[in-house]
C-alpha cells in the first residue's frame, strides 16, 4: 500500500468490482421485474379463464381431470385442489401438516381474490412463482386452482449464462486490472525515476538527471528537477573549488613560515641572512592575516541578511581620503594619483564600505601599473547616479579573463600571484560591497594598455 500506483490501481479495481456487482444486481432486478411479472400475468390470465369452468357446488372429479388435462398441454404447472386440509380449513386446530395455502391466504381466497406468491415452497421444495385462484360457492372455499412456475427453471434457463457471465466478468476484471496496472506503471514511471533521482541526489550524486519525455505535469516536474540538480551541482563545484583554493592559498604562506623558521631553528641560515628571513616570515604572516581577514569579510557579507542603512556621503571627499591613504603606496612606484571630481556629488552609501571599494580598485590599479605611470580617478554625475572611473595604464587584463576577475581567488596571472601579494579576493569583495550599496561595476581592459574600471553608485535624491 506504499505506492501511489498501487492505491490508484486498487481504487480502480474496487470501482470495477462495484460496477460489475451493480450491473449484475440491476440485470437480476430487471430480469425479475420483467420476466416474473410477465409469467405472473400469464398465470393469472390462464387461471381466471380456468376458473370459469367451475360454476357451483363441490369440485368434481371431472373438473380436476379437466384441469389435469389442460396441465398436460400447458407449459405452466396447474392443478386443482379440493382437500380442505390443503386449504387450511383446519386452521383453528393445531395441524402438524404443511398446507398448500396459509390461513391469511385462505381469507383472501374466501373473499374471491386470487393469491400471488413468490419464493420458496416447502411442498415443492423449490423456489416458485405461484398464483392461487379460489373456487368459491356461497362463501365456501370448495377448492383452488394452483398454478406455479419454478423460479429455478428461469434461473436454470439462465444458469449457463450466469456461469458464463461470472466467468467473463471474472476474466474481464483480470484483463482490465492487468491493463490498468500496466497503464499506471507507464504513467507512474517518470515519477518513479524522479523519486530514484531525488534519492540519488540525497546521497550526494549531483550529476543525476532524469529524462524528460513529456510536456505534462510530470514532464515539467522532471525538467524543473533537472534545472535544480544542475544548479546544485554548479554550486557544489564552486564550493569545492573555493575550499580547495582557500586551503591552497593558506598552505603556501604556512609552508614558507614553517620552512624558514625551522631552518633558523636548525641554524642553517647564517646571521647575515637572518634579518632578511625574518622579514620574509613577517611578510608571509601578513599575507595570511590579510587573506583570512578578507575571507572573513567575504563570509560575513554573504551571511549579512539585514538591510544596510545607507546615508548621504560627499563622494569627492571620500575619494580624496582614499587618495591620501594610497599616496604612499603609489609614491613607491612613482605613480601619480590624479583625481578629478565634482565636489557637489553626494551619494547614498555606507562610508566604510565605499572606502573599501575604492581602496581595493585603486590598489589594484597601482599594483598592475608600470612604474612612473599614473592612475586617473574621475567622478561625474549622470542620470541620478555617480559614475566613478579609475583608469590605469598598466599591464591590462586579457579579454578571456575579464569576465572572471570578480570570482574569488581568480587571478589573471597565476604564476605571478604571490609575488604581487594579491589574494585574489579584492574584486570579489568589491562586487559584494557594490551589491549592498546598490551599485554596479564594469571593467574594460586592453593588454599592455591599461584597465578602465567604471563604478556606478546611486546619488542622494533631492
Partner 1 sequence: MTLKKWAFFIFSLVQIIWLAGCSEKSFNPIERERDFIASLNIQEPSLDFIDEQGNVFTTWSFEKAYSGALLLGDDRVLLYGHQLDKIDVYTLSTGKKLYSKKVKIGTTNVYYAKNVNQFFITNSKMNTVTSFDKEGNELASTQLGNYPMSMASYKDQLYVINYKDTKLTVLAIEDLSVKQEWPIEKSSHGIAIVEETNELWIGGHGEGSKPNSSVKRYDLMTGAVQGVIEMPLMPVGLTKTEDNVLVVSHGHNELYVTDFDGNVKWQQEVGANPFVVNQFNDYIVVAGYDDHTLYFIKEGQVQKTVDVGKGAFQLLVREGKL
Site for partner 1 (CB under 8 A): which residue of 93, 265, 266, 382?
Answer: 93
- Cell readout for 75 is 407449459
- Of 111 and 232, CB closest to partner 1: 111
110/298 with CB nearer partner 1 = 110
Smallest CA-to-CA distance from 434 within 337, 361, 343, 325 is with 361
Compute the half-sphere exposure of residue 181: CA atoms within 13 Å on the CB side of its CA. 9
Stretch that binds partner 1, among 68-76, 89-97, 199-207, 300-308 (CB under 8 A): 89-97
- Told to check if 56 binds partner 1 by CB under 8 A, we report no
191 counts as binding partner 1 under rule CB under 8 A: no
Which H helix or E strand runs over 69? helix 61-73
Tell me the number of residues near partner 1 by CB under 8 A: 19
- Cα–Cα dist 244/193, whole Å: 34
Of the candidates 460, 455, 461, the one whose C-alpha atom is nearest the C-alpha of residue 354 is: 455
Q: Binding to partner 1 by residue 437, rule CB under 8 A?
A: no
- Among the candidate windows 87-95, 160-168, 313-321, 442-450, which touches partner 1 by CB under 8 A? 87-95
Does 204 contact partner 1 by CB under 8 A? no
Are 413 and 422 within 8 A, CB to CB? no
Residue 238 is a binding residue for partner 1 (CB under 8 A): no
Nearest-approach distance from CB 60 to partner 1, in angstroms: 13
User: Grid coordinates standing for 272?
Assistant: 647575515
On the CB side of 462, how many CA atoms lie within 13 Å of its CA?
Answer: 5
124 part of the interface to partner 1, by CB under 8 A: no
The binder of partner 1 chosen from 1, 2, 55, 92 (CB under 8 A):
92
Residues 379 and 459 sit within 8 Å (Cβ to Cβ): no
Under the binding rule (CB under 8 A), the answer on residue 64 touching partner 1 is no
Contact flag: residue 96 with partner 1 (CB under 8 A): yes
Q: According to the binding rule CB under 8 A, does residue 95 interact with partner 1?
A: yes
C-alpha cell at 90: 383446519
Rounded to whole angstroms, the Cα distance separating 122 from 404 reads 101
Residue 221's Cβ-side half-sphere holds a number of Cα atoms within 13 Å equal to 12
Rounded to whole angstroms, the Cα distance separating 420 from 398 reads 18
Please tell me the distance from the alpha carbon of residue 77 to that of residue 61, in angstroms, as a whole number. Answer: 18
**If binding is defined by CB under 8 A, does position 58 make contact with partner 1?**
yes
Characterize the bridge pairing of strands 374-382 and 336-341.
parallel
Q: Looking only at residues 130 through 149 of this chain, which bind partner 1 when binding is defined by CB under 8 A?
A: 138-141
Nearer to partner 1, 17 or 90 (CB): 90
Q: By CB under 8 A, name the one of 10, 18, 90, 174 that touches partner 1.
A: 90
Q: Is 97 in the site for partner 1 (CB under 8 A)?
A: yes
**Minimum distance, C-beta of residue 137 to partner 1, in the bound complex (Å):** 9
Which residues here bind partner 1, judged by CB under 8 A?
A: 58, 83-86, 89-90, 92-97, 106, 110, 138-141
Amino acid at each position: 500500500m506504499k505506492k501511489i500506483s498501487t492505491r490508484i490501481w486498487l481504487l480502480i479495481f474496487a470501482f470495477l468490482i462495484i460496477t460489475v456487482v451493480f450491473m449484475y444486481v440491476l440485470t437480476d432486478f430487471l430480469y425479475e421485474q420483467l420476466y416474473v411479472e410477465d409469467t405472473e400475468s400469464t398465470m393469472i390470465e390462464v387461471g381466471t379463464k380456468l376458473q370459469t369452468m367451475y360454476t357451483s357446488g363441490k369440485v368434481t372429479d371431472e373438473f380436476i381431470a379437466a384441469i389435469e388435462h389442460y396441465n398436460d398441454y400447458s407449459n405452466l404447472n396447474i392443478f386443482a385442489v379440493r382437500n380442505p386440509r390443503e386449504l387450511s380449513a383446519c386452521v383453528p386446530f393445531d395441524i402438524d401438516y404443511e398446507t398448500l395455502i396459509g390461513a391469511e391466504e385462505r381469507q383472501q381466497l374466501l373473499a374471491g381474490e386470487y393469491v400471488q406468491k413468490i419464493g420458496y415452497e416447502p411442498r415443492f421444495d423449490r423456489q416458485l412463482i405461484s398464483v392461487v385462484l379460489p373456487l368459491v360457492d356461497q362463501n365456501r372455499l370448495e377448492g383452488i386452482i394452483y398454478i406455479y412456475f419454478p423460479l429455478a427453471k428461469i434461473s436454470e434457463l439462465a444458469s449457463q449464462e450466469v456461469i458464463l457471465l461470472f466467468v467473463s466478468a471474472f476474466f474481464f476484471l483480470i484483463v482490465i486490472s492487468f491493463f490498468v496496472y500496466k497503464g499506471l506503471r507507464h504513467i507512474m514511471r517518470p515519477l518513479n525515476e524522479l523519486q530514484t533521482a531525488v534519492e540519488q541526489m540525497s546521497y550526494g550524486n549531483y550529476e543525476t538527471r532524469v529524462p524528460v519525455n513529456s510536456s505534462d505535469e510530470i514532464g515539467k516536474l522532471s525538467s524543473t528537477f533537472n534545472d535544480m540538480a544542475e544548479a546544485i551541482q554548479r554550486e557544489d563545484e564552486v564550493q569545492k573549488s573555493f575550499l580547495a583554493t582557500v586551503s591552497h592559498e593558506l598552505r603556501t604562506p604556512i609552508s614558507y613560515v614553517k620552512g624558514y623558521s625551522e631552518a633558523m631553528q636548525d641554524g642553517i641560515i647564517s646571521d647575515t641572512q637572518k634579518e632578511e628571513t625574518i622579514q620574509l616570515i613577517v611578510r608571509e604572516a601578513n599575507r595570511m592575516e590579510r587573506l583570512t581577514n578578507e575571507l572573513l569579510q567575504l563570509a560575513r557579507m554573504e551571511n549579512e541578511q539585514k538591510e544596510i542603512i545607507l546615508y548621504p556621503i560627499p563622494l569627492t571627499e571620500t575619494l580624496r581620503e582614499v587618495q591620501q591613504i594610497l599616496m604612499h603606496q603609489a609614491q613607491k612606484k612613482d605613480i601619480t594619483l590624479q583625481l578629478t571630481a565634482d565636489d557637489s556629488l553626494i551619494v547614498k552609501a555606507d562610508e566604510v564600505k565605499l572606502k573599501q571599494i575604492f581602496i581595493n580598485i585603486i590598489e589594484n590599479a597601482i599594483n598592475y601599473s608600470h612604474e612612473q605611470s599614473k592612475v586617473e580617478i574621475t567622478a561625474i554625475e549622470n542620470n541620478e547616479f555617480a559614475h566613478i572611473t579609475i583608469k590605469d595604464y598598466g599591464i591590462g587584463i586579457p579579454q578571456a579573463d575579464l569576465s572572471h576577475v570578480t570570482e574569488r581567488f581568480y587571478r589573471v596571472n597565476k604564476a605571478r600571484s604571490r609575488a604581487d601579494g594579491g589574494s585574489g579576493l579584492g574584486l570579489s569583495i568589491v562586487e559584494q560591497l557594490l551589491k549592498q550599496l546598490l551599485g554596479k561595476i564594469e571593467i574594460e581592459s586592453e593588454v599592455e594598455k591599461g584597465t578602465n574600471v567604471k563604478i556606478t553608485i546611486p546619488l542622494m535624491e533631492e
